[in-house]
């Protein structure tokens, strides 16, 4: 997913600006349990990607703000890290309840700042956040906090002060997966949310305050990656940095963190393969695979954007994929009929269009979609749902596009399929379709990736999320996500 640390579609009329949530001007940051003025004086404008109109602004924080927040987190650490499991469980169940009560507000905020269609945003973003908070609270009981070996007591303890740098595509859930998991583990946090979609972070801070989280445990500093993000990654009092972003952003965080030998937790990009073998239900596999890749306008790091199919079935698959892609409805994300919203910024739209324009020059075949603006949607950062057939050596098949673009790649046999699937710098997610789940599970051993869907099975929120190779370091979700923010301590005698 991107993060700066530096066919005929049915167009639907967009809602007038007056009908959208007024997200407003946020000129304060949250430090040590209080909303306070930033030392910065500039504001960052926030744009609605569906209308290209300003929806508010947030203050541009500074290195000095990061230091104030980190000092507050350091003061709060000893007391918070010594709270009981039951105390933290109670707070996180309370956070889940507060999120449940604000589901509609959260949904509308995310639709406005991200552009995800309202029906899917409600389920995946708002209701998903409630689930994740409850799971996090219950997962505290699943961790082995103390083990005994040969007279030694091995303890799991909070890693320390955590710097969390989160993504715009799932603005609240990204905060929960990082800042939330760190707090549940007993750490204190300094958060930089995305300046592109910042308003969910304010809602989370308000809920933290209402849930009774002690002052200094959670701190929010808005700003850009080169200023606030880099200040977090290099601050000597921060013990661990957790980032969701691009490979380039991850490399920069690792470089800065190395000066003080910080631990890093990185959830980066993906170019995930969805392998469909003979004997699978092709109609279901194609439709499910396209849906997975087009979630949130394709702005999901684990989207199954490479569809690998038997060469003998290529023509059949292409026809099915064209039909599936052309069934998407683009338009106003507040309209329940809309199934594909805009991408996040004009810069991102042009980046995706460049991939679409240049792919045929490498030999890729455009099946549906294209770089032109969707009919009737000249305003907003919309991209036509696009499908190519290509070779795995082409840019369209190798680089993360982060838009509604799927590449179909034919294979000749099982060995060829896995050679193609594993021939990627990424290793975040994958899919395997076969005649039976048992057969697909057996084949999963051959796929070098962190998460695999078998015959379209749903993704468990209790299982870990994270990847191999350039897809990052560490895991999120459930017990595994909490354990990223723990250290071992051995007490002998």
- Catalytic residue ranges: 267, 301
CA–CA distance, 470 with 426 (Å, rounded to integer): 5
CA–CA distance, 452 with 272 (Å, rounded to integer): 9
CA–CA distance, 473 with 27 (Å, rounded to integer): 34
Helices first, then strands: H and E counts in the chain: 17, 23
Are 314 and 408 contacting, i.e. CB atoms less than 8 angstroms apart? yes
**Beta carbons within 10 angstroms of residue 89's beta carbon:** 18
* CA 370 to chain centroid: 26
CA–CA distance, 1 with 264 (Å, rounded to integer): 17
The answer for residues whose C-beta is within 8 angstroms of residue 293's C-beta and 6 or more apart is: 274, 303, 304, 305, 307, 404, 405, 406
CA–CA distance, 466 with 270 (Å, rounded to integer): 10
> Which letter does DSSP use for residue 274 in this model?
E
The answer for residues whose C-beta is within 8 angstroms of residue 358's C-beta and 6 or more apart is: 395
As beta bridge partners, residue 263 has: 240
Angle of the 85-101 helix axis to the 103-114 helix axis, nearest 10: 70
């Amino acid at each position: 997913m991107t993060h700066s640390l530096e066919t005929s579609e049915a167009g639907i009329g967009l809602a007038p600006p007056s009908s959208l949530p007024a997200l407003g001007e946020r000129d304060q940051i949250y430090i040590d349990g209080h909303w306070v003025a930033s030392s910065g004086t500039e504001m960052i404008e926030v744009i609605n990607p569906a209308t290209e109109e300003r929806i508010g602004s947030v203050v541009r924080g500074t290195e000095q703000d990061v230091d104030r927040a980190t000092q507050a987190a350091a003061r709060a650490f000893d007391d918070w890290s010594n709270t009981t499991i039951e105390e933290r469980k109670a707070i996180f169940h309370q956070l889940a309840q507060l999120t449940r009560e604000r589901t509609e507000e959260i949904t509308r905020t995310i639709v406005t700042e991200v552009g995800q269609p309202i029906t899917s945003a409600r389920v995946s973003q708002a209701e998903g956040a409630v689930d994740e908070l409850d799971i996090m609270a219950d997962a505290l009981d699943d961790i082995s906090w103390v083990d005994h070996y040969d007279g030694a007591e091995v303890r799991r303890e909070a890693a320390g002060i955590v710097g969390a740098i989160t993504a715009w595509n799932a603005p609240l859930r990204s905060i929960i997966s990082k800042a939330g998991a760190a707090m549940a583990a007993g750490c204190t946090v300094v958060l930089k949310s995305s300046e592109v979609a910042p308003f969910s972070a304010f809602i989370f801070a308000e809920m933290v305050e209402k849930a009774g989280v002690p002052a200094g445990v959670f701190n929010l500093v808005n700003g850009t990656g080169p200023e606030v993000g880099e200040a977090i990654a290099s601050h000597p009092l921060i013990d661990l940095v957790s980032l969701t972003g691009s490979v380039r952003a991850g490399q920069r965080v690792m470089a800065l963190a190395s000066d003080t030998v910080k631990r890093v937790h990185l959830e980066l990009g993906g170019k995930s393969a969805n392998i469909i073998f003979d004997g699978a239900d092709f109609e279901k596999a194609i439709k499910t695979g396209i849906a997975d890749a087009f979630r949130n306008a394709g702005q999901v790091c684990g989207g199954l954007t490479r569809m690998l199919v038997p060469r003998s079935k290529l023509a059949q698959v292409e026809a099915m994929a064209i039909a599936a892609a052309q069934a998407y409805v683009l338009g106003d994300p507040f309209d329940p009929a809309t199934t594909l919203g805009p991408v996040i910024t004009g810069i991102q739209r042009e980046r995706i269009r460049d991939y679409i324009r240049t792919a045929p020059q490498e030999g890729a075949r455009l099946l549906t979609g294209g770089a032109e603006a969707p009919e009737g949607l000249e305003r907003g950062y919309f991209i036509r749902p696009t499908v190519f057939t290509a070779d795995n050596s082409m840019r369209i098949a190798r680089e993360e596009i982060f838009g509604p673009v799927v590449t179909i790649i034919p294979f000749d046999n099982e060995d060829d399929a896995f050679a193609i699937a594993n021939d990627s710098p990424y290793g975040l997610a994958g899919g395997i379709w076969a005649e039976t789940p048992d057969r697909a599970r057996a084949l999963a051993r051959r796929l070098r990736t962190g998460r695999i869907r078998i015959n379209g099975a749903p993704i468990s929120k209790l299982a870990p999320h994270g990847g191999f190779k350039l897809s990052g370091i560490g895991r999120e979700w459930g017990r595994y996500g909490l354990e990223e923010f723990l250290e071992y301590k051995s007490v002998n005698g």
